[in-house]
Structure 1
Amino acid sequence: MSDWTPKLNPTVDLRRLPLNAEEGFVLSRLDGHTREKDLPALTGFPPDKLRDILARLVSQGALLPGTEAPASMNTVRPPAHHEADHPAPSVDASATEPLPEAEASDGADDEAGAADDVPEAVLGDFRKLFETRLHGLPEDQRVALAHGAEDPELSALCFDPVPAVIKAVLENSRVGLPHARLIARHHRNPVGLEALVARAAFASDTGVRRFLVRNPQLPVALFRRLWAMRRLMEHHKLTVDRDVPEQTRRTARELLRQRFSTGPSEEKVELILNTEGRALGALVGMPVDGKTTSLLCGRTYRSPMLVQNIARWSAAPPALIAHLLKQELVRRQPQLRMMLARHPNAPADAKRA
């Protein structure tokens, strides 16, 4: 198989394509980064069969064609097998709803692309399979099934609300990151989420983490354990992400202040500059060390918004206020100079001017 990386065609509505169960399942395993030659391990399909499926998906427009896109070994579309047991994506599936960015004004979330690996049309198909065929089984049967299930049943069981079933899914030898992301996104029991995070390979995945912080049942203690040592910018993005539950955002604000008081100076400077000082609103009364001050004073400032936010920051060090007053931007704009001159840490001569 080739080094071609199959990628979804963003201009095509998957719900309108006549996909069979195998094609829908393969689509659910594409993240836009995994090469064709690595897909047999993720899908369980032999390379020749997988090549045929990918070729059909390209011909239907579901995948973007590439220079190394596979040519179908069988130009006649084979009949879908077991479609009664494994329903294909349909028009009734959930409408596409892309995840929003953590904060548009601060730039794209670096983890976004890694997380959105399951098309909503296919996601709705897994949910439908669970609700129509699996949910009605007794709990002990679902646990037993989860231990040895293959996809699409294994993915469907990730929607089970019972922690014992989720634990059984995680013990399945076929479980992988796509299943972990489904659990992080849709499971609503803290016990099941604890079991998920107990697997280090899953807990470190950017997609799993992204979905966990948006899960309203993520325990505060578990969030603290996962995010305590993350970069300041990551904490800030959570504090302003409207898709993060308020409890998690509140904890993120607490962690942001804790990390700001003890974190590296370089991270503090990165936070202040990359947010144009907007993050300072959550850091009232938080002073900075000499190294951070020195790094901030070693820069040329061209953003009025950044200067205004620093001028409103009560803990802005005197050396930084003095440095800003010397900037060409401030000298050209009297309103900025006035804001800085009124700061309690402004030099005496600036206050008299």
Structure 2
Amino acid sequence: MFSSPMPPPWPGPAGVLQVMKDSGAMTEWMPKPNPAVDLRTLALSPEEGFVLSRLDGATPARNLPALTGLPPERLRTILSRLVTQGALLPTPAASPAAPVAAPPAAFEPQRRTSPAAPEPEADLPVLDLTPLDAEPGADLPALDATPLEAATTPDTAPDAEDEPEAALGNYRQLFELRLHPLPEDQRIAHAHAAEDPILSALCFDPVPAVIKAVLENARAGLPHARLVARYHRNPVGLEALCARAAFAADTGVRRWLVRNPQLPASLFRRLWSARRLMELHKVGNDRDVPESTRRAAREVLRQRFASGPAEEKVELILNTEGRALAALIGLPVDGKTASLLCGRTYRSPMLIQNIARWSAAPPALIAHLLKQEAVRRQPQLRILLARHPNAPADAKRGGA
């Protein structure tokens, strides 16, 4: 019977880590994911998955501390585990072990093997994970915020419009540790010429002059504008952001601007004065929006309702089931709006009640509601409409 010697075991994480520390070759090693391995079959921790998602095969290991925000010692341990699990390819200098003659298939002994484990004789490089020099102009790699397919589910996938939270943490840490200690004039100079991730990190700067320099950078785009809208807390910087029409018109920028507690009311009025009534109503009732901005939204809503298109007024009343009318007390409607409202069939008791409590409801609309089947079936609705100041005289006598 044939027999085959068992291959020497692949060294565990501790052994690989020691090789990384002791080897003197390839200080510029660029860790590369193993394309032959299905990452979903590996038991990766969240931290290992995060580090693996940042590896593109073109980033030197020495740059990983700034890219991930993890200390070099921790990265050595994580990378060693990824190599032993087969998630990363070994160094290109590694030479494969001499092949062992395989016995006939019928007599091959059963043993566990790792489908992507490198040969034990492979030389692993020394990982020079010394943090990058504090010079902000250093050639930092762009952050690849694409998460691992195995680590992301449809329910937890980040919004395509915004940076993932992990990347935002990297930018903030880079700013606090490397850029914030620099003098303001140096940060302004870097903002004019920087690339990512430095440019994104400077979006966290609290000084408006730095934000203006970021926006003047030719590489600045919507992701940077959204960061400024979300995190900058100075009205002057927000004014500079909204001075650029392309940024001010972006949905993501607007979404974060209205949640920014430092958004000036005057700037809100200027940007939202031409928005649809329904959008203004949503801002005025959004609990994630600061009260000062909500109050400004309600004021703009009243101004726009008095002069806005009839179609938008009808849309606002119907889509909110009349709830928006509570903020429109004392504002009459024009003949076209009344005509459009009278041309509809009403079945919602909530909508009918809210219109009945609206003091500016036109007489024609009250008369139209009294004819609705929903009102005929519910006496309390008819009584409520009959008590309206603009109700027809015969309805008032019948409801008395």
Q: TM-score w.r.t. structure 2 length?
A: 0.63
Whether 2:343 is the aligned partner of 1:313: answer: no
Whether 2:281 is the aligned partner of 1:236: answer: yes
What letter is aligned with 1:86?
L
Alpha-carbon contact 2:273-2:300 (below 8 Å) kept: yes
Structure 1, unaligned runs of 5 or more: 1-14, 25-73, 91-112
Whether 2:291 is the aligned partner of 1:246: answer: yes
SS at structure 2 position matched to 1:208 = helix
> Partners in 2 of 1:236 and 1:304 — Cα distance?
21
Alpha-carbon contact 2:259-2:290 (below 8 Å) kept: yes
Partner of 1:225: 270
Q: CA 1:114–1:205 in 2, change beyond 3 Å: closer, same or farther?
A: farther
Q: Residue 387 of structure 2 is aligned with which of 328, 342, 346? A: 342
Whether 2:66 is the aligned partner of 1:85: answer: yes
Q: Give matches, 1:37-116, under 5 Å.
A: 80=61, 82-88=63-69, 116=161
Partner of 1:16: 46
Alpha-carbon contact 1:87-1:129 (below 8 Å) kept: no
Q: Residue 341 of structure 2 is aligned with which of 288, 296, 306? A: 296
SS at structure 2 position matched to 1:316 = coil
> Partners in 1 of 2:199 and 2:165 — Cα distance?
17
Partner of 1:213: 258
Partner of 2:312: 267
What letter is aligned with 2:48?
P
> Partners in 1 of 2:282 and 2:187 — Cα distance?
38
Q: CA deviation at 1:16?
A: 2.4
Q: CA 1:227–1:340 in 2, change beyond 3 Å: closer, same or farther?
A: same
SS at structure 1 position matched to 2:275 = coil
> Partners in 2 of 1:161 and 1:75 — Cα distance?
32
Q: CA deviation at 1:22?
A: 9.4
Structure number, greater radius of gyration: 2
Cα displacement string for residues 52-78 of structure 1 (whole angstroms, at most 9, x for unaligned residues)? xxxxxxxxxxxxxxxxxxxxxx99897
Cα displacement string for residues 109-146 of structure 1 (whole angstroms, at most 9, x for unaligned residues)? xxxx9885222222122111111111111111111111
Cα displacement string for residues 298-337 of structure 1 (whole angstroms, at most 9, x for unaligned residues)? 0001111100100110100110001011111111111111
Q: CA 1:23–1:88 in 2, change beyond 3 Å: closer, same or farther?
A: farther
> Partners in 1 of 2:210 and 2:264 — Cα distance?
19
Partner of 2:223: 178
Whether 2:232 is the aligned partner of 1:187: answer: yes
* Aligned-CA RMSD value: 2.5
Alpha-carbon contact 2:69-2:173 (below 8 Å) kept: no
> Partners in 2 of 1:88 and 1:172 — Cα distance?
25
Q: CA 1:21–1:141 in 2, change beyond 3 Å: closer, same or farther?
A: farther
Q: Residue 372 of structure 2 is aligned with which of 299, 321, 327? A: 327
Structure 2, unaligned runs of 5 or more: 1-44, 72-157
Alpha-carbon contact 1:22-1:80 (below 8 Å) kept: no
What letter is aligned with 2:68?
P
What letter is aligned with 1:151?
D
Partner of 1:134: 179
Deviating more after overlay: 192-201 vs 261-270:
192-201
Q: Give matches, 1:270-281, under 5 Å.
A: 270-281=315-326
Q: CA 1:75–1:255 in 2, change beyond 3 Å: closer, same or farther?
A: closer
Alpha-carbon contact 1:296-1:320 (below 8 Å) kept: yes
Partner of 1:148: 193
> Partners in 2 of 1:223 and 1:75 — Cα distance?
42
> Partners in 2 of 1:88 and 1:297 — Cα distance?
62
Q: CA deviation at 1:89?
A: 8.2
User: Quick one: percent identity of the two aligned structures?
Assistant: 74
Alpha-carbon contact 1:21-1:89 (below 8 Å) kept: no
> Partners in 1 of 2:394 and 2:214 — Cα distance?
69
What letter is aligned with 2:246?
A
Alpha-carbon contact 1:340-1:346 (below 8 Å) kept: yes
Alpha-carbon contact 2:322-2:355 (below 8 Å) kept: yes
What letter is aligned with 1:129?
L
Q: Identify, as 1 or 2, the structure richer in helix.
A: 1
Alpha-carbon contact 2:321-2:351 (below 8 Å) kept: yes
Q: CA 1:250–1:318 in 2, change beyond 3 Å: closer, same or farther?
A: same
